[in-house]
Amino acid sequence: MNTVLELKHVSRSYGREPQAVHALRDLDVRLYACSFTAVVGPSGSGKSTFLQCAAGLDQPTAGTVRLAGQEISAMGERELTRLRRGRIGFVFQSFNLLPALTVQENVLLPLRLDGKRRDPARARRMLARVGLDGREDARPGELSGGQQQRVAIARALVTEPDIVFADEPTGSLDQETAAEVLGLLREAVSSHGATVVVVTHDPAVAAQADRVLRLAEGRLVADTVRAPV
């Protein structure tokens, strides 16, 4: 199995002793290509900090993070920005689409920011994959929450990233819409070979994952791999 992401002895603390908060404590995790992983745990257990460190949005206090063999925990901000744009996809609870841009422009944004060719046919293909063909020229405000999250998923996948991080992607959606969005993330893994990590409170999301990592007080307390169905 190909390792996409490797965290070795990763700790992240805030503040100074004796008042320091240890958000992550000596975490060792390997994530493999073409897998759907859920990260669960109670509020304050370190899920967001895990995501931030794993995605190069924050630097661990100790330990190393490698993405596709490259040590991102040693990179400077410019290099990290380039890496995030080109090789990591993000999906957020609040969709984070740009309201003034069309759906198609939103999907192509990561390529534009990365100075790559913006290919409308590619955007259309991505939108068709998430069931939004024909909505290229709509603005996000004209779409439902579920549709906006579909646009965000198309945007996250458009660069064919090494890994997609989703932070509570179903948190703002009703149950039925959440299941559809979840199905799309699953399909990105099973049909298109994506590697997806979802941070979630939602047991329905965890139930769909190939692997569930449970955090408590900044430690990995359970690592469950589901048997293939």
**Residues at the interface with ligand ADP (CB under 6 A):** 14, 21, 23, 41, 43-49
Pairing mode of beta strands 163-167, 219-225: unpaired
Pairing mode of beta strands 88-92, 163-167: parallel
Give the DSSP letter string of 201-221.
Answer: S-HHHHHH-SEEEEEETTEEE
Residues 6 or more apart whose Cβ sits within 8 Å of residue 78 = none
- Judged by beta carbon, residue 73 or residue 104, the one nearer ligand ADP is 73
Handedness of CA 156, 157, 162, 166 (dihedral sign): positive
Residue 113 Cβ, how far from ligand ADP at the closest point, in Å? 26
Residue 119 Cβ, how far from ligand ADP at the closest point, in Å? 36
Residue 118 Cβ, how far from ligand ADP at the closest point, in Å? 34
- Judged by beta carbon, residue 25 or residue 124, the one nearer ligand ADP is 25
- Judged by beta carbon, residue 47 or residue 87, the one nearer ligand ADP is 47
- Judged by beta carbon, residue 16 or residue 78, the one nearer ligand ADP is 16
Task: Give dist(CA 88, CA 192) in Å, integer.
Answer: 15
Residue 13 Cβ, how far from ligand ADP at the closest point, in Å? 8
